[in-house]
Amino acid sequence: MDKIAFDAQIIEWRGPPPYLFAVVPDEHIAAIRYAALTESYGWGVVPVVVRVGATDFTTSLFPRDGGYLVPVKVAVQRAEGIGRGDRIKVLMRVGRPQS
């Protein structure tokens, strides 16, 4: 799958910080679902490799309301100075890290 690039607002969901997420825009949902057919671990878990700012990390998308949320790890929040309500640029690829 090609990389997906988008801007997203950081939201807080299910608990106090550091539970921060970037909402994947609707126009990317179909491509993610298609890629997940071969990349998913099962149970709806969709592994992704993400870049925010200068920070690369791996995570799994959270399904929510027919779309997906990208969990933004605490280490990424700190490295990039990210907080609730911020807008960030996300570069993402569905799948596991390539060796």
Query: pLDDT tens-digit profile of 11-63?
Result: 998 766 668 999 999 999 999 998 888 887 766 679 999 999 999 999 999 88
Strand partners, 4: 92
Assigned token pair, 95: 């799948």
Q: Which residues pair with 56 in a beta bridge?
A: 51
- Given this model, what pLDDT does residue 16 score? 61
* One-letter amino acid of 17: P
Is the pTM higher than 0.75? The answer reads yes
Residue in the structure block whose two tokens are 């997940």: 36
- In tens, the pLDDT along 56-83 reads 999 999 888 899 999 999 999 999 999 9
Question: What domains are there in the chain, each with its CATH number?
Answer: 4-94 (2.40.30.100)
pLDDT at position 51 = 97
